[in-house]
Amino acid sequence: MGQDLTICNETLLEFERLIESGGCNPWEGQLRTGVDLGTANIVLAVVDEHDRPVAGATYPSTVVRDGIVVDYIGALNAVTKLKDELEARLGTTLEAGACAIPPGIIEGNVRVIGNVVEGAGFRLTNVVDEPTAAASVLGITDGAVVDVGGGTTGISILKDGKVIFTGDEPTGGTHMTLVLAGFHGWSIQEAELAKRDPAQESRVFPVVKPVVEKMASIVGRYLKDYPVDQIYVVGGACCFTQFEQTFEKCLGVPVIKPAAPLLVTPLGIAVNCTQ
């Protein structure tokens, strides 16, 4: 049986509403912030002592490539700007902050990500790995979490609440955009916009489907060594409505996608921000 995601989905949709409306919720106890430095998006998530979403903000990223900060000053400026924006909205200072690292990243890069969070004025309380962050929002202890982001696809296998395997592969939403642009003779920007437009999914998905199948075949290779009963997909590039069924068909394992898959990891980083 897969985990019942009803409550998790309500929380994610609430967090999405907070980001879209630019509002904030009342909170109890100390606030904790999660900073997700992604290839496509930088997301800040603020939760209270009950792990309830309080506020959030996002900014398109150009400062990170596949989990590695390539523009330190740009990253610092973006995180500082988002922090200032949230503090103005909340009327208080955000102190405790956590960040996440993609699977398989080396020590030096971990320090750089931490430095961005500290440089923006947070007290860095935790550096969590992305799959652990996602798993805490999903409330799962077992199964595979596949995070299909902009630059990379992270695969993590959980057993009894522990991450027992992680892998990261250089394919993701950007790869889909390139295929779509090439197919139609579109610019990257045109392809990116069309890809994200739900109204165009019926003509977009058939073109990017081979990329999704390729992702599934990569995941399948890992599952040979670590069989699981469920696969949870998160990250922006799994937003397509046909994504789960394509994965499921290739892998023969139930595939579950939470609401607002883009926001699972960011919210999970905040949940893992200790005081």
Ligand X SMILES: Nc1ncnc2c1ncn2[C@@H]1O[C@H](COP(=O)(O)OP(=O)(O)OP(=O)(O)O)[C@@H](O)[C@H]1O
Site for ligand X in 162-191 (CB under 6 A): 172-174
> Min. distance of Cβ 90 from ligand X in angstroms?
23
Please identify, using beta-carbon distances, which residue of 46 and 233 lies nearer to ligand X: 233
**CA 133, CA 38: separation in Å to the nearest integer?**
14
According to the binding rule CB under 6 A, does residue 41 interact with ligand X? yes
Q: Among candidates 38, 92, 32, which has minimal Cα distance to 61?
A: 38
Among residues 239, 255, 269, 271, which is the contact residue for ligand X, using CB under 6 A? 239
Alpha helices, DSSP H, located in the chain:
6-21, 72-90, 107-119, 130-138, 173-184, 188-196, 201-225, 243-251, 264-271
According to the binding rule CB under 6 A, does residue 131 interact with ligand X? no
Place of tokens 């004025």: 121
According to the binding rule CB under 6 A, does residue 257 interact with ligand X? no
According to the binding rule CB under 5 A, does residue 172 interact with Mg ion? no
Among residues 38, 53, 143, 151, which is the contact residue for Mg ion, using CB under 5 A? 38
According to the binding rule CB under 6 A, does residue 196 interact with ligand X? yes
According to the binding rule CB under 6 A, does residue 103 interact with ligand X? no
**CA 264, CA 135: separation in Å to the nearest integer?**
9
**CA 234, CA 156: separation in Å to the nearest integer?**
11
Size of the residue set binding ligand X (CB under 6 A): 23
Q: Among candidates 78, 120, 68, 65, which has minimal Cα distance to 97?
A: 120
Question: Which stretch in 9-17, 39-47, 109-117, 155-163 sits in contact with ligand X by CB under 6 A?
Answer: 39-47
According to the binding rule CB under 6 A, does residue 40 interact with ligand X? yes
Residue 136 CA: distances (Å) to CA of 94, 130, 133, 146, 156: 22, 10, 5, 14, 13
Q: Give the residue closest to Mg ion by C-beta.
A: 149
Q: ∠230-152-216 over CA atoms, to 5°?
A: 40
Coil, strand or helix: which one is 167?
strand
> Min. distance of Cβ 231 from ligand X in angstroms?
16
> Min. distance of Cβ 49 from ligand X in angstroms?
26
According to the binding rule CB under 6 A, does residue 101 interact with ligand X? no
Say which entry of Mg ion, ligand X, none residue 174 contacts (CB below 5 to 8 A, set by partner kind). ligand X
Instruction: Determine contact, residues 47/39, Cβ cutoff 8 Å.
Output: no
Among residues 97, 103, 149, 172, which is the contact residue for Mg ion, using CB under 5 A? 149
According to the binding rule CB under 6 A, does residue 39 interact with ligand X? yes
Coil, strand or helix: which one is 121?
coil
Say which entry of ligand X, Mg ion, none residue 247 contacts (CB below 5 to 8 A, set by partner kind). none
> Min. distance of Cβ 29 from ligand X in angstroms?
28
